[in-house]
Amino acid sequence: MAQIIDGKLISQQIKDELKEKVSALKEEGKEISLAVIQVGKDPASSVYVNNKKKACAYIGINSLSYELEETISETELLKLIYDLNDNPVVNGILVQLPLPSHIKEDKIINAIVPEKDVDGFHPQNVGALCIGEKGFVSCTPAGIIQLLKRSNIEIAGKECVVIGRSNIVGKPMSLLLLAENGTVTIAHSRTKDLKEVARRADILVVAIGKPQFITADYVKKGAVVIDVGIHRDENNKLCGDVDYEGVIHKVSAITPVPGGVGPMTIAMLMNNCVESALNF
């Protein structure tokens, strides 16, 4: 029987641990604040942003909400970020992506001081991860490491295959698995014989962005499968990048969609906010 890795439960445990830490900090007179910036009204972004604010409220972190017009200029947004950088009350700055096309995302990310970059997207934080120094780590891959550790899944020495090479998931995921002494392969859309590569994996992390793409013939018997994707299928039901029903009988452990990786991203964002406050 495959172990179903319960991201909802594990994220709840992490949030409860953080709630206690925040409450202890409050007793010392220390408040934590996260600035949450949304530009425009993209419905998916609104859902994510609201969930982040709800998590803040649950844990006891103040969320400072900035809901900006789609037409805001890059200069105006940069000005807000500089103000938040200089504001001693603010511990973390989150700019929900994607941004409208007239604003350069990398320019905005680079403007956030690395000490408040709780998303872990700033090049200084990415570089720190690369060379094993302290810094904020992108929340989704950091959450996946927590899922594995808290499910007692050993990473050291394992063949880890990450499908996807994005800056937010694939690349940091690979570096984190490497830091845990995994043997890491990064596969992507241009990989030759993806099936053969994926079938090498003891731990297969899938962030390919294609609904139910990974079928049983991509998976080695007994592998651990982590599904980062989230889509709606033809019946409007949520599904991942992995054909869950097709692979479940072959794997030793798997994350469901929903309720696997998704809830971990917010839990790790909250963790980064608390870390930020502790480092101040």
Q: Which is nearer to ligand GUN, 5 or 108 (CB)?
A: 108
Q: Which is nearer to ligand GUN, 48 or 244 (CB)?
A: 48
Window contacting ligand GUN (CB under 6 A); options: 88-96, 147-155, 195-203, 212-220: 88-96
Active site residue 52: yes
Active site residue 96: yes
* Nearest residue to 155 via CA among 133, 173, 172, 178: 178
Instruction: Confirm or reject binding of residue 63 to ligand GUN (CB under 6 A).
Output: no
Token pair listed for 67: 């809901």
Token pair listed for 194: 């993806």
Q: Which is nearer to ligand GUN, 94 or 223 (CB)?
A: 94
Which single residue brings its beta carbon nearest to ligand GUN? Answer: 97
Instruction: Confirm or reject binding of residue 103 to ligand GUN (CB under 6 A).
Output: no
Token pair listed for 259: 């309720």
Active site residue 119: yes
Residue in 77, 93, 94, 277 binding ligand GUN, rule: CB under 6 A:
94
Window contacting ligand GUN (CB under 6 A); options: 1-9, 23-31, 92-100, 148-156: 92-100
Instruction: Confirm or reject binding of residue 212 to ligand GUN (CB under 6 A).
Output: no
Instruction: Confirm or reject binding of residue 97 to ligand GUN (CB under 6 A).
Output: yes
Of 117, 119, 241, 243, the catalytic one is 119
Question: Which strands make up the sheet holding 92-95, listed edge to edge?
Answer: 62-68, 33-39, 92-95
For residue 82, the minimal CB distance to ligand GUN (Å) is 18
Instruction: Confirm or reject binding of residue 18 to ligand GUN (CB under 6 A).
Output: no
Q: Determine the Cα–Cα distance for residues 177 and 194; give it in Å rounded to an integer.
A: 20
Site track for ligand GUN across 220-249, x = CB under 6 A? ------------------------------
Site track for ligand GUN across 132-171, x = CB under 6 A? -------x--------------------------------
Pairing of strands 92-95, 203-206: unpaired
Contact residues for ligand GUN, defined by CB under 6 A: 94-97, 119, 139, 265
